[in-house]
Structure 1
Amino acid sequence: MERSGKLILVIAIFFMGNVFAQEEEEVITKEEAIALALERNYGIEIAENEVEIAENNQGILNSGYLPSVTGRAGANYDLNDRLTEPENGEALDQQGIESNSYNASVNLNYTLFDGLGRFYNYKSLKEQYDLSKLQARETIENTMLQLMTVYYEIARLTENVEVLEDVLETSKDRVTRAQYQFDYGQTNNLVVLNARVDVNNDSVNLLQTRQQLNNTKRDLNVLLDRQITAKDFTVDTTVNFIPKLQLEAFIMEAETNNVSLLQLDRNMAITAYDIKISKSGYLPTIDLSGSYGWNYNRSAATAFFPGSRQTTDGISGGVSLNWNLFDGGTTSVQVQNAKINYENQELRKKQVALGIRRDIANALGNYENRLYIYKVQEENVATNQDNFERSQEQFNLGRITSIEFRQAQVNLLDARTSLNLAKYDAKIAELELLQLTGQLLNIEL
């Protein structure tokens, strides 16, 4: 009686510990994971910093439209000994002659016209800013796809652990039943040993799957910049698929939303401005300059002139024109190369567009195939579940052997894990298709 009381106490403590652990376990939803990635992922932070740099570059302070203003100041001091010996007369010996001068000026320089090179360079910087935003978007898309791949892998392994726990529980019940049957002489010891072997195998499979689950959770922590040793968490295993009509609409608009094609459009615009910038070398430049200066000079007396102090100040200004009538053909070569580069950009866009059409067709085929497999696996699970329940009834009645029952159990295990794999494979294929159509960041994952 005392032994039974201790056993009940141990079971109660274990049960309460599991309850408290479950209460403290964190649940990370897909929305929370995405928000954390956008906030903490290093790759995304670097991409955002690149966008900030491009934004600074396309501002008025980097446009060349503002004048340059410089200030200058200087001072000179001389200390000399001087001996003056005239042809007729007494020599004059001067010791410690001091003279000094001071100057200060403010200078302004401004380019009134530079052949429109400055104008087109400013436009090009605007396009480069837009390009940097598209590059950041591509980084975010890749990170989101990587994030959701890891997230759904955690979900798949979580469901596999639940399946393996059910299998192990059934196998343990089978050992108990086989042991009772052996104790009452209804079966031989080989049945008990086979049941225990199956329990061991199921325990190993469960242990390995739990380890895979823990490793994948650490991968997610790295993507979210969380502590590797953070407390355990679970994820949302709900999977929703996009309606077919909506997906077809996304595919129809893929070439106007695909981030790779949009980047090529920006590159073509930048190259077009490069042509115009190069052509600006054919035109003259007109510069405006102005200054305000102040000078002060104090000179020592000489044998023939008394010392003096002189102060001057004033403003000056000027306009200059510079026209490079012939630069050895450098400008002409730059224009020709810029045109060839633009032609290459056009060819590259055609090439990439063709590849994207192929990738979308392949991704759509993979998605439809995996979605079909998922539906087939659902039917397969239902069939194997029914077969397992019937086999379990027959096994309990002693009408089938433990080997036949184990086969029904393994078939159900394979069907359920295959269903989990098919479900998440189909979802990942859908996300890959959404990335190609440029809609990955516009839908609820």
Structure 2
Amino acid sequence: MRRIYLTTLFLVALLGISTGFAQDPVLSKQEAMKLALENNFGIKVARNQVEIAENNQSILNAGFLPTLTANAGATYNRDDIVVEFPGQFDENGQPRPDFELNKAEAQRFNTGITLDYTLFDGLGRLYNYKSLQEQYQLTELQARETIENTLLQLFSVYFEVARLTENVNVFNQALRISRDRITRAEYAFEYGQNTKLDILNAQVDVTNDSINLLNAKQQLANAKRDLNVVLNQNLNETFAVDTVVNFIPRLELDEFIATAKENNVALLQTEKNLKINEYDIKVSRSGYLPSIGLSGSYGWNLNQNPPSAFFPGTNNTTFNMNLGARLTWNLFDGGSTAIRVKNAKIAFENQDLLKKQIELEVDRDILNALNIYENRLAIYAIQEQNVITNENNFARSREQFQLGRITSIEFRQAQINLLNAQTNKNLAKYDAKLAELQLLQLTGQLLNIEL
């Protein structure tokens, strides 16, 4: 008995210490969204992918511009030459002497530029450029999908923090009521109105409520760390959250659902992929057409030659310019172009089938999400009414308990019923809001509404 009493005192003291800190600043939903959009690792990676796609869709990557190449070179050569004249005589009839040339240096320098430009390549560049633009827009849609999924993850954790925050308040209230029971039981025992058993029952209930409160606070601390991970900030960052939840009017939801096919990110991605496959067919067909190009070059050469046995040294300087045109037509490439065109058409057909499948799945997902949302909203309304009923029942039970007309066990049961009703209402509220957010994502409106 003494052990239970000491344990109760310890838990009460611990909870008193833990609730004595200053109030944490409130992290609003809008601020949480802002932090996630700025700091979340997944969103940063998605934005980098968009930047890569934007670079790729530039005209600098499409092959429309000419190529200009510069080149330069220099060579150096040194020779030591001995020329013999066997069987030859000079004018005096003497054998002709050998000719020696030491350190004969030759130098050559050249520089030039070459310009090459493709005037026509069967329209392959044009359709490839358009395909790159579609790929850029597809990457933007993929980044949007990443942002939407991250925000769903964010609010899933944010609302869990809010739910646990409200649960902590509920358990705090239950603990205060149980503490008050101990005080009343001790006074009643002193005046001989009840037995020691009532005090022990109250102490057991305080112990249980203290443990429930400690567990709820631990879960809340863990959930806050999970939220800090999503926000990419210090894991020990402390804050409070907004527990107010507003639901979108049904009429507005119906408008979102009616325009879901124009805004759903998965459907928009399938349309972009279909357009890319269409351009792939046209790029493949460009292999049937000729290629026409122009080329030009301009160069400068300097050759410095040493003297030889028969010729003096020379310096030759040359300037040259070259202009040309070319026509290339692959009349038959073994059938590879025809195969590429056929495969591109099959890929287009597959993408079209995939689009139809995703359309059907999105319709199903929206209907399921709407039914889940309506069901959870109805459960929340029932739980709200259940809390009111249990509050009235608890108030009556408290009056009857104070008058001695019901036992402490009956009073405790009324308290537990109220506690369960309050925590169930908290769960139903945030479950309904998450179901609404999932429905908004499917309709493509998650990023367009105020939470």
TM-score, with length taken from structure 2: 0.93
- What are the within-5 Å matches in structure 2 for residues 227-238 of structure 1? 227-230=234-237, 232-238=238-244
Q: Which of these residues, 171, 181, 193, is aligned with residue 178 of structure 2?
A: 171
Alpha-carbon distance between aligned partners in 2 of 1:303 and 1:423, rounded to the nearest angstrom: 106
SS at the partner of 1:21? coil
Three-state SS of the structure 2 residue aligned to 1:265 is helix
1:339 corresponds to 2:345: yes
CA-CA distance at 1:15 after TM superposition: 10
Do structure 1's residue 21 and structure 2's residue 22 form an aligned pair?
yes
**Gap runs ≥5 in structure 2:** 1-14, 90-95
Matches within 5 A, 1:154-169: 154-169=161-176
How many angstroms apart in 2 are the aligned matches of 1:252 and 1:402? 56
- 2:263 corresponds to: 257
Matched, 1:273 2:279: yes
Question: What amino acid sits opposite 1:273 in the alignment?
Answer: Y
**Bigger Cα displacement from structure 2, 77-86 vs 173-182:** 77-86
Deviations 1:59-83 (A, max 9, x none): 1211111111111000011111222
Partners of 2:299 and 2:101 lie apart in 1 by: 33
Which amino acid is the alignment partner of residue 73 of structure 1?
A
Which amino acid is 1:68 matched to?
A: T
Which 5+ residue runs of structure 1 have no aligned equivalent? 1-13
Q: Deviations over 1:331-380 (max 9, x none)?
A: 00000000000000000011111111111111111000000000011111
- Counterpart CA distance in 1 for 2:272 and 2:388 is 52
| Alignment of structure 1 residues 177-256 onto 2, 5 Å | 177-230=184-237, 232-256=238-262
Return the letter of the residue paired with 2:248: I
Q: Alpha-carbon deviation of 1:19?
A: 7.7
What is the one-letter code of the residue matched to 1:92? Answer: F
User: What is the rounded CA distance, in whole Å, between the counterparts of 2:198 and 2:20 in structure 1?
Assistant: 36
Correspondence 1:305 to 2:311: yes
Deviation at 1:225, TM superposition (A): 1.2
RMSD: 1.5
Identity of aligned residues (%): 60
Counterpart of 1:142 in structure 2 is: 149
* TM-score where L is the length of structure 1: 0.94
**Cα distance in 1 between the residues matched to 2:285 and 2:16:** 81
Out of 394, 403, 410, the position equivalent to 2:400 is 394
Give, in whole Å, the separation in 2 of the partners of 1:422 and 1:121: 52
| 1:88 match | 88
Residue 127 (structure 2) aligned to one of 120, 130, 140:
120
Could you tell me which residue of structure 2 aligns to residue 5 of structure 1? none
Name the counterpart of 2:437: 431
1:152 is aligned to: 159
- What secondary structure does 1:444 align onto? coil
Which amino acid in the other structure matches residue 410 of structure 1? I
Equivalent in the alignment of 1:57: 56
Instruction: Report the residue type matching 1:152 in the other structure.
Output: F
Q: Write the distance in 1 (CA, Å) between the matches of 2:44 and 2:101.
A: 73
CA distance in 1, matches of 2:350, 2:59: 31
User: What SS is found at the alignment partner of 2:63?
Assistant: coil
Mapping of residues 333-412 of structure 1, within 5 Å:
333-412=339-418
Q: Counterpart of 1:76 in 2: which secondary structure?
A: strand
Separation in structure 2 between the aligned mates of residue 256 and residue 78 of structure 1, nearest angstrom: 74
1:180, CA displacement in angstroms? Answer: 1.4
- 4+ long deviations beyond 4 Å: 14-20
